[in-house]
């Protein structure tokens, strides 16, 4: 089905609680950020999408957790309420837009378990400054040079950008997301995948959490 290019205009934002209730294990969140690194991703892919993350439910704790790879931090897990309230640099409310989407392959535990194991096993993977520069060079090499074969020195090890991390998690479950082969798989490639459909847009203008340091 893929995510329509005008989805952020045609899908009216829904309250956080309504979106949370719809989240299933293995769902993804596509984000339209506004920080410099997000703008680099958007520029390089000619797409509004700058970030993608995976969601999992932890029923025993009544929590929905989002696992993502973010600049300066690496791979981390955050509660969905925090994910929808502020970006990785703490900007409140979230400076952009967030869309819940779903891949048709993840309908049961058989594929969810290996994907979840990969995602949780990589929690804490850090980015060094040199690795962040390497990511930026990989993006520039692919989009400016149009190279379909990334130089070996620029290939990712464990310093994934967000979309490479999610793609690797999908791969662990035997699910591939098609992409254009230009150096790196991008958030926009997930949006264009025919197996992925939009579910709901989050109303980020009304965050579920208050600003840090403020009473609820």
Q: 73-119, pLDDT tens digit by residue? A: 889 999 999 999 999 989 999 999 999 999 999 877 789 999 999 99
Give a yes or no: residue 195 inside a domain: yes
The CATH number that applies at residue 77 is 3.90.1720.10
Give a yes or no: residue 212 inside a domain: no
Percent of the chain with pLDDT strictly greater than 90: 60
Q: Residue 148 pLDDT > 60, yes or no?
A: no
Residue in 111, 119, 106 with CA at minimum distance from that of residue 160: 119
Give a yes or no: residue 166 inside a domain: yes
Give a yes or no: residue 154 inside a domain: yes
Give a yes or no: residue 214 inside a domain: no
Give a yes or no: residue 207 inside a domain: no
171-188 pLDDT per residue, tens: 999 999 998 766 678 899
pTM: 0.88
Domain with 164, as residue range(s), is 7-201
Structural domain count of the chain: 1
Backbone CA torsion sign across 11, 15, 20, 22: negative
Give a yes or no: residue 206 inside a domain: no
pLDDT classification of 34: cutoffs 50, 70, 90: confident
Which residue carries 């997000």 as its tokens?
A: 38
Q: Residue 216 pLDDT > 50, yes or no?
A: no
Q: Residue 169 pLDDT > 50, yes or no?
A: yes
Q: Is 160 exposed, middle or buried (0-12, 13-18, 19+ CB in 10 A)?
A: buried
Residue in 159, 187, 204 with CA at minimum distance from that of residue 53: 187
Backbone CA torsion sign across 17, 22, 27, 29: negative
Give the ranges where the chain is alpha helix by DSSP (H): 7-10, 16-22, 36-45, 80-83, 109-121, 129-145, 162-172, 187-192
Neighbours of 212 (CB within 10 A): 10
pLDDT classification of 71: cutoffs 50, 70, 90: confident
Give a yes or no: residue 209 inside a domain: no
Q: What is the pLDDT of residue 3?
A: 96
């Amino acid at each position: 089905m893929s995510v329509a290019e005008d989805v952020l205009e045609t899908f009216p934002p829904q309250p956080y609680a309504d979106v949370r209730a719809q989240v299933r294990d293995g769902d993804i969140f596509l984000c339209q950020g506004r920080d410099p690194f997000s703008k680099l991703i958007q520029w390089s892919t000619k797409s509004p999408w700058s970030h993608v993350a995976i969601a999992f439910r932890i029923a025993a704790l009544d929590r929905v957790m989002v696992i993502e790879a973010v600049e300066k931090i690496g791979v981390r897990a955050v509660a969905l309420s925090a994910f929808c309230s502020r970006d990785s640099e703490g900007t409140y409310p979230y400076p952009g837009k967030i869309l819940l989407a779903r891949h048709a392959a993840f309908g049961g535990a058989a594929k969810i378990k290996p994907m979840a194991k990969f995602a949780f096993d990589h929690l804490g993977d850090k980015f060094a400054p040199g690795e962040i520069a390497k990511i930026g060079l990989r993006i520039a090499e692919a989009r400016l040079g149009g190279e379909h074969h990334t130089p070996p020195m620029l290939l990712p090890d464990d310093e994934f950008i967000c979309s490479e991390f999610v793609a690797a998690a999908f791969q662990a479950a035997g699910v591939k997301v098609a992409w254009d082969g230009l150096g790196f798989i991008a958030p926009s490639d997930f949006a264009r995948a025919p197996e992925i459909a939009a579910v709901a847009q989050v109303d980020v203008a009304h965050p579920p959490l208050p600003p840090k340091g403020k009473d609820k």
